[in-house]
Amino acid sequence: MNVWFYEDQTPDLRIGLRVGRVVHHERSPYQEILVADTDQWGRMLALDNVIQTNETTEFVYHEMMAHVALFAHPNPERVLVVGGGDGGVIREVVKHPTVRQAVLAEIDEKVIEAARRWLPSISSGLDDPRTRIDVGDGIDHVARSPDTYDVIIVDSTDPVGPAVGLFSEEFYRSAFRALRDGGLFVAQTESPFYNADLIRRVQQALRNVFPWSGMYWGVVPEYPGGFWAMSIGSRGGDPRRVPAGRYAERRFETFATRYYAPDVHAAAFVLPPFVLELLPDGAPQRREAYVERFLPGAGEEAGEEAGGSGEGEESGGPGGPAG
């Protein structure tokens, strides 16, 4: 069968994927839902003609969306995932033994139904007894949940339609209020190659709201450019720095991750210069990178001003917590 699925990535760029059998196709009140089998990636899910996930490479995105914030938090008990009706992020969240409740706020119930039926390896976490599903607007859910969650993860579609509000400073302020002390907020924020202006706006908005904000990244083959940005805000400390004993305490060796690892956690916060330039002036990653790496001889002085690095106690990126 020689049928091709094409996704327009920009007005001047599209990618194509050979499709075998279309196993599910419907239009929900919100979007067109397609589940199809492919030779390259196995079964895939597309919404409004945009690839969301697939059986072969999904692990990178879902692991990085979940584990960075959950390991950065000292005791994540209540976690909210906004969007992500395929269940992949929830699957990773419930691997953590500290998690008592994982809430999925998904506006489109039909996506959940399709994932449960056609993508069981991705959606398995939806059936975990700690998972609660709230079908409705994630923005409204966050607004009515003050001081509730330890981690909020926004696994949204691209910033069009109902998802537009998930990329606003108003929503980030609402998320800040929904987090408990020490809480962390993570959101997928597209490709620095094709969405630089969006990333700049998101990073500035997060810096206006959170004591610590920044970005990390992962390699996501099914998304435009492959280099995918995750933006993060913290009500507590520096999420780059995870106490060395935390992985053993959480039984990390039982997680069976394929991409996320302690060293990957630290490395994901190291950004190339063209991405650092998307962060606002004064952002910890940008400030430290330019002072410590691009200004010869200034790194030691900057380290003294920061009060030391806590060597021997923690592993992670350069420098101590910064606001």
Claim to verify: residue 125 and residue 264 sit in the same structural domain: yes
Claim to verify: residue 124 and residue 14 sit in the same structural domain: no
Degrees to nearest 5, angle at CA 227 with 223 and 232: 100
Which residue reads 């390991």 in tokens? 71
* Residue 219 covered by a domain: yes
What's the whole-model pTM score? 0.89
pLDDT computed for residue 2 by the predictor:
76
Instruction: State the chain's maximal CA–CA distance in angstroms.
Output: 64
Which has the higher per-residue pLDDT, 224 or 123? 123
pLDDT computed for residue 244 by the predictor:
84
Q: What is the pLDDT of residues 51-96, one digit of tens each?
A: 999 999 999 999 999 999 999 999 999 999 999 999 999 999 999 9
Which residue reads 């709230």 in tokens? 134
Claim to verify: residue 283 and residue 245 sit in the same structural domain: no
Can 155 be counted among the known catalytic residues? yes
Of 154, 208, 152, the closest CA to residue 183 belongs to 152
User: Residue 10's pLDDT band (boundaries 50, 70, 90)?
Assistant: confident
> For residues 178 and 141, what is the distance between their CA atoms, to the nearest angstrom?
9
Claim to verify: residue 187 and residue 47 sit in the same structural domain: no
Degrees to nearest 5, angle at CA 102 with 43 and 134: 80
- CATH classification at residue 46: 2.30.140.10
Q: What is the pLDDT of residues 136-158, one digit of tens each?
A: 999 999 999 999 999 999 998 77
User: Residue 288's pLDDT band (boundaries 50, 70, 90)?
Assistant: confident
* Residue 321 covered by a domain: no
Claim to verify: residue 68 and residue 207 sit in the same structural domain: yes
Percent of the chain surpassing pLDDT 70: 87
Claim to verify: residue 111 and residue 249 sit in the same structural domain: yes
Claim to verify: residue 142 and residue 234 sit in the same structural domain: yes
Q: What is the pLDDT of residues 233-242, one digit of tens each?
A: 999 999 998 9
Claim to verify: residue 7 and residue 90 sit in the same structural domain: no
Claim to verify: residue 105 and residue 229 sit in the same structural domain: yes
Q: Please tell me what DSSP assigns to residue 236.
A: S
Specify the 3-state DSSP secondary structure of 137.
Answer: coil
* Residue 316 covered by a domain: no
* Residue 185 covered by a domain: yes
Claim to verify: residue 262 and residue 124 sit in the same structural domain: yes
Claim to verify: residue 113 and residue 45 sit in the same structural domain: no
**Tokens representing residue 1 in the block:** 């069968």
Indicate which residue of 86, 108, 150, 155 is catalytic: 155
Claim to verify: residue 181 and residue 292 sit in the same structural domain: no
Provide the domain limits for residue 195. 58-268
pLDDT computed for residue 254 by the predictor:
86
Residue 152's beta-bridge partner residues?
80, 185
Query: How many separate domains does the chain show?
Result: 3
